Structure 1
Amino acid sequence: MRPDPGTGSAVVTVVAGGNPPTPAEIARLPANPVIVAADAGLNHALAAGLTVAVAVGDMDSVATEALSAAERAGTRIEHHPMDKDRTDLELALELATRLADRVIVIGGGGGRLDHLIGNLVVLASPTWAGVAIEAWQDGARALVVRGQRTLEVEPGATVSLFALGGPARVTTTGLIWPLDNEVLEPLTSRGVSNRATTSCPTVSVTEGVILAVMP
């Protein structure tokens, strides 16, 4: 099972489009974060005062002033055609997961429902199964769980577990309705609105993949 990333792990932050990240989310980022911006995420990153290492996407939603400022600052621009098979976030994740063993996606909530669903589903792609990925969106956190992960929540916090791509065999600790080596099926609501009974409950997955959402 993949352990939680240690304090020495490389971390890359992907700033997505949609709603901009909140000041609280920016403040929680690791010190001197390595930033990859996905298309309109470049607007959000520069507005938050972040230094962007790479901007990737078709750039159709990037303000002209933001693109010029990024180029002047030395940001690498990876420009893709508008007619493509992958979203800008997927392109950014492909880059970020080559650079780090932990990726934090901020922004990306709000806006179009299809974009929101696509952004969450792509997080669990087997392409980056070796990387610990989480998303912070609209005040909520979503963690992809393969192996074991600790959830940084306090007692009483809501935790929802969703199996993605097929059934998942799950064991939990510190939740009011535990799972003990049980199969959580996709396309059901069984894992919705569980609750933490202790700080830092754990979720262990021995088969499949889980998205743990903490609103």
Structure 2
Amino acid sequence: MRYYPLFTQENLPKTLVIANGAFPKAPTPLALIDRWRSGEAGYSLTCCDGAVNKLRQYTDKLPDAVVGDLDSVSSGLKDLLDGRIHHFLDQDTNDLTKTMKFIHSQGGKRPITLLGASGGREDHLLANLCLLTTYSDLVSDLVMLTDEGYFLLLTEPSEVEILLGQQFSVFNFQQTPISLRGARWPLEHYTLPQLWCGSLNRASASRLSIDTTSPILLYLANV
């Protein structure tokens, strides 16, 4: 059974991906970007296409890689990014998927913190959330930080540290049976009939125990 502690600036994955949604404003995602900007060991940062424009408004430091066609980036910035741009012209996938595949191609599965995937257009957010569970073959762990909380990709039975009373939601896109313990509304080998049915729960213990046979998303709201 996998164990996940409460995530902090200290233990979140150091491979950072910035999607082209709203640029982060909350302290934790900005702190991760600052750690990369300062050159702290182990950190890398990849932008999904136009997200590089938003990063440049925050810092002059260039990302380690940019994945996409960069059709919205000025020629001057493209010149600065020479050697960091990785073109994937496949129109059957979006830039986030192209980025995940690129990172996997550079060294196999690794833990990733995804930033900037919420906010902006709501259809992009919904598409990103639907795609996260499809990345289980590309990442070892995936945490999507937002300004309000975080999504955690779970691919096997797991124990997740949580604060007593903290609000959370479970989203099972494949509608397979799951078990959930340590919650105000527990489940036992139950198939949620619709996607929203696992939302708006609350922790009744300091750990959630979740049994699943397919990739699911667990959302923990900030307290």
Q: TM-score range with shorter-chain normalisation?
A: 0.7 to 0.9
Deviations 1:167-187 (A, max 9, x none): 2232223211112333334x3
What amino acid sits opposite 2:48 in the alignment? Answer: A
> Cα offset for 1:126?
5.5
Q: Distance in 1 between matches of 2:160 and 2:73?
A: 34
> Cα offset for 1:127?
5.8
For 1:90, the equivalent position in structure 2 comes to: 97
Q: Distance in 2 between matches of 1:14 and 1:133?
A: 10
Contact 1:4 1:148 in 2 (8 A): no
Q: Which runs of 5+ in 1 are unaligned?
A: none
> Cα offset for 1:9?
10
For 1:143, the equivalent position in structure 2 comes to: 152
Contact 1:58 1:88 in 2 (8 A): no
Contact 1:2 1:147 in 2 (8 A): yes
Contact 2:101 2:138 in 1 (8 A): no
For 2:85, the equivalent position in structure 1 comes to: 77
Partner of residue 193 from structure 1, selected from 193, 200, 222: 200
Deviations 1:137-164 (A, max 9, x none): 2423111111134445422221111111
Say whether residues 1:181 and 2:189 are aligned partners: yes
SS in 1 for 2:22: coil
Q: Distance in 1 between matches of 2:138 and 2:32?
A: 24
For 1:12, the equivalent position in structure 2 comes to: 15
SS in 1 for 2:188: coil
Contact 1:56 1:79 in 2 (8 A): yes
Contact 1:21 1:44 in 2 (8 A): no
> Cα offset for 1:64?
4.8
What amino acid sits opposite 1:213 in the alignment? Answer: Y
For 1:27, the equivalent position in structure 2 comes to: 31
SS in 2 for 1:89: helix
Say whether residues 1:211 and 2:207 are aligned partners: no
Q: Distance in 1 between matches of 2:158 and 2:71?
A: 36
> What is the aligned-residue identity percentage?
25
* Runs of 4+ deviating beyond 6 Å: 7-10
> Cα offset for 1:38?
0.5
What amino acid sits opposite 1:12 in the alignment? Answer: T
Contact 1:2 1:146 in 2 (8 A): no
Say whether residues 1:36 and 2:46 are aligned partners: yes
SS in 2 for 1:80: coil
So what's the TM-score if we normalise by structure 2? 0.77
What amino acid sits opposite 1:135 in the alignment? Answer: M
Q: Which runs of 5+ in 2 are unaligned?
A: none
So what's the TM-score if we normalise by structure 1? 0.80
Q: 1:28 to 1:150 in 2, by over 3 A?
A: farther
> Cα offset for 1:89?
0.8
> Cα offset for 1:128?
2.3
Structure with a larger share of its residues in strand: 1
For 2:209, the equivalent position in structure 1 comes to: 202
Contact 2:117 2:125 in 1 (8 A): yes
What amino acid sits opposite 1:147 in the alignment? Answer: E
Say whether residues 1:155 and 2:159 are aligned partners: no
What amino acid sits opposite 1:113 in the alignment? Answer: E
